[in-house]
Amino acid sequence: MKLEEYKVSGGLNKEQMDKMHENALWLCENVGINIPHQGIINILSSYNGIKVENGNYVKFKPELVMNALNEAKYDVPEYAKDEWIISAGAHQTACYDLDNPGRLKEAEEKDLINFIKLGDALDTVGSAPVVPLDIPAHLQHILMHKVAYENSRRRCNDIYEHMDKPSYECAMYVHEMAKVAGKRFAFGIWMISPRSFDAKNLEIAYRLLDKGVPMWIATMPVAGVSSPITMIGTIQQSVFEYLAGLTMLNLINKKSFNYISPNDAFEGDAFDMKYSTFVYGSVEYTEHTLYQIPLCRYYNVPIMTKAALTNSKQPDGQAAAEIGMHTLIAALMGARAFRCAGLLSSGEIYSGEWLVINKEIVDYVKTLLKPQEFSEGRLFIDEIADVKAGGSFIGRKSTMQLFRQEYWMPELFTHMNLGQWQEAGSKSMWQYAIDRAKKLITGHTYQIDDDKKKELDKIYEAAKKDKKLEDSFKIY
């Protein structure tokens, strides 16, 4: 007999999501989105059910939206079907220096390599964790992919990757490297709320249409800034923009499949008007996740929550409380994939030591929610009857047999008492995490096949000398 597994009930019900869905369809049909790209407008104009107004405003009939939703495809990797997933990093430009605890610095190539190794050692997925600022801008994204391919198994290699390809030339280098390394390649389009796009981003998508690459849509409306002030209103806007953006992709990218990015699906960002800041990790951002999870289920989008994101500046109690509560409630709602591990200050900073603590938190939550058996044997009534007043259970056979498996032994959140901790050097949690991060980096061994590495080196050398690539990063 099992104890019924713990989960959280409540939140948006089907009727409420039906209403949000109908609203979104109405907005797609009657309000539409701005698509500032003539080539894409021309393609869309050839379809029935499309209305183009005022040059760039495009409205979609509900049938087209429903068709796009039906045709969306989510190629979730095998490992994600039964594992808990941690996605770490989202191209931060500042990081904590592992050799000088507490010191913030600009990220460099060596940090990129170390953090990719650390992430791989911890089985994390996602995009490159940091942008190496010590190399020219036009090479940064190419190097981020190259280092990820060379030093990790899962990074930049599946649906959890969400890295920018800032120019067509850059995208083509990454595409070429992905083919050589046998890695996945997809192109993402970010909407700019409210209901628009970046023309350059659309141009890259347009030029990739004949390449047969999967494309995804994402949007990040900000409550009170680029969407309504209420979180549920912001999520409503997000649903509208996702549906419209996906419909556009479904009509133009015919040589491959399209999807809603699980990384930011039905995203709506909380914003603090006092500080003019994003407030990831806040109550309201966690509230957004509680809307996001049922909506992902409603639309059959794989669930990936940004539960590991915090606004704290250091790997401290604020950070741990925010991501701990967010991760736990998301897991209780059924999420098993968690994003933005290692990020601090709402994504301004990356921290290897914080990633290690993130992992500990997810392991803890996983332990807490594991199925538990309930049986008369586990009640140990006979043992209780056997051990009289003044007796002890320490020497019992049952204790010897079970004490290791009944209790989880954490790596960082240790069970030392005060005296033991002091004897071990009174090290802070931050220092324990740094030590572990360094050990994992040193002990990391995965390397891509030598022949592939040589080929990647060759492509990278070509990119270094490519004037067209360099020019594509210039701001005119």
Partner 1 sequence: MGKIEDYRLVGGLSKEQMDLMHEKSLWLVENEGIHIPHEGILKLLSNYDGVKIEGKTVKFKPELVLDALKKVKFPLPDYAKGPDNWVISAGAHQTKIFDLETRVLREAKLSDLVDMIKLGDALDTVGSAPLVPLDVPPYLAEIYIHKTAYEYSRFRANDMFEHDPRPTIEAANYIYEMSKAANKWFAIGLYMISPRSFDRKELDIVYKFLDRGVPMWAGTLPIAGVNAPITMIGAMIQSMFETFGCLAMLNLINTKSYNYIQIIDSFIAHPFDMKYSTFTYGSAEDIQGALYKISLHKYYGIPMSIKSLLTNGKEPGDAQSAFEIAAFTLAAALAGARIFRCAGLMSSGETYSGEQVVIAKEIVQYIKNLIKSREFSDEKLMVDEIAAVGAGQSFIGRKSTMDLFRTEYWQPELFGHTNLGQWQEMGSRSLWDYANAKVKKLIKEHDYQIDPEIKKELDRILETAKKDGKLMSVYN
3-state secondary structure of 149: helix
Task: Using CB under 8 A, pick the residue from 108, 325, 438, 473 that binds partner 1.
Answer: 325
Binding range to partner 1, per CB under 8 A, among 3-11, 249-257, 301-309, 443-451: 3-11
Task: Return d(Cα 358, Cα 349) in angstroms, integer.
Answer: 15
The answer to whether the beta carbons of residues 125 and 86 sit under 8 Å apart is: yes
Q: Residue 224 interacts with partner 1 (CB under 8 A)?
A: yes
Q: Residue 423 interacts with partner 1 (CB under 8 A)?
A: no
Give Cα 308 to chain centroid, integer Å: 9
Instruction: Give the number of other CB atoms < 10 A from CB of residue 130.
Output: 29
Q: Among residues 17, 43, 45, 73, which one has the least CA distance to residue 256?
A: 73
Residue ranges in 44-103 that form contacts with partner 1 under rule CB under 8 A: 57, 94
Give Cα 174 to chain centroid, integer Å: 20
Task: Using CB under 8 A, pick the residue from 61, 76, 166, 398 that binds partner 1.
Answer: 398
The mark string for 184-203 relative to partner 1 (x by CB under 8 A, - otherwise) is --------x-xxx-------
The mark string for 429-458 relative to partner 1 (x by CB under 8 A, - otherwise) is xx--x-------------------------
Instruction: Give the number of other CB atoms < 10 A from CB of residue 403.
Output: 10
Give 137 or 229: the residue with its C-beta nearer to partner 1: 229
Task: Using CB under 8 A, pick the residue from 407, 411, 423, 442 that binds partner 1.
Answer: 407
Angle formed at CA 192 by CA 187 and CA 197, multiple of 5 degrees: 60
Q: Residue 124 interacts with partner 1 (CB under 8 A)?
A: no
Task: Using CB under 8 A, pick the residue from 144, 346, 355, 459 that binds partner 1.
Answer: 346
- Min dist CB 257 to partner 1, Å, is 27
Q: Residue 38 interacts with partner 1 (CB under 8 A)?
A: no
- Min dist CB 435 to partner 1, Å, is 14
- Min dist CB 235 to partner 1, Å, is 9
The answer to whether the beta carbons of residues 321 and 327 sit under 8 Å apart is: no
Q: Residue 8 interacts with partner 1 (CB under 8 A)?
A: yes
- Min dist CB 394 to partner 1, Å, is 6
Binding range to partner 1, per CB under 8 A, among 130-138, 160-168, 172-180, 372-380: 372-380
Task: Return d(Cα 289, Cα 329) in angstroms, integer.
Answer: 9
Task: Using CB under 8 A, pick the residue from 14, 71, 379, 442 that binds partner 1.
Answer: 379
Beta strands 50-53 and 57-60: pairing type? antiparallel
Give 318 or 472: the residue with its C-beta nearer to partner 1: 318
Task: Using CB under 8 A, pick the residue from 71, 134, 383, 457 that binds partner 1.
Answer: 383
In which residue are the tokens 């959140």 written?
413
Q: Residue 381 interacts with partner 1 (CB under 8 A)?
A: yes
Task: Return d(Cα 188, Cα 219) in angstroms, integer.
Answer: 10
Residue 218 burial (CB < 10 Å; 0-12/13-18/19+)? buried
**Helices 231-252, 199-208: inter-axial angle, 10-degree rounding:** 30
Q: Among residues 201, 127, 132, 199, which one has the least CA distance to residue 167?
A: 201
Q: For residue 305, give the DSSP letter.
A: B
**Sheet with 57-60, edge to edge strand ranges:** 33-34, 57-60, 50-53
Q: Residue 351 interacts with partner 1 (CB under 8 A)?
A: no
Q: Residue 394 interacts with partner 1 (CB under 8 A)?
A: yes
Beta bridge partners of 343: 350
Give 415 or 474: the residue with its C-beta nearer to partner 1: 415
Task: Using CB under 8 A, pick the residue from 388, 465, 467, 474 that binds partner 1.
Answer: 388
Q: Residue 119 interacts with partner 1 (CB under 8 A)?
A: no
- Min dist CB 375 to partner 1, Å, is 9
Residue ranges in 249-278 that form contacts with partner 1 under rule CB under 8 A: 270, 272-277
Q: Among residues 281, 282, 241, which one has the least CA distance to residue 261?
A: 241
* Greatest extent of the chain over all pairs of C-alpha atoms, in Å: 87
Give 193 or 261: the residue with its C-beta nearer to partner 1: 193
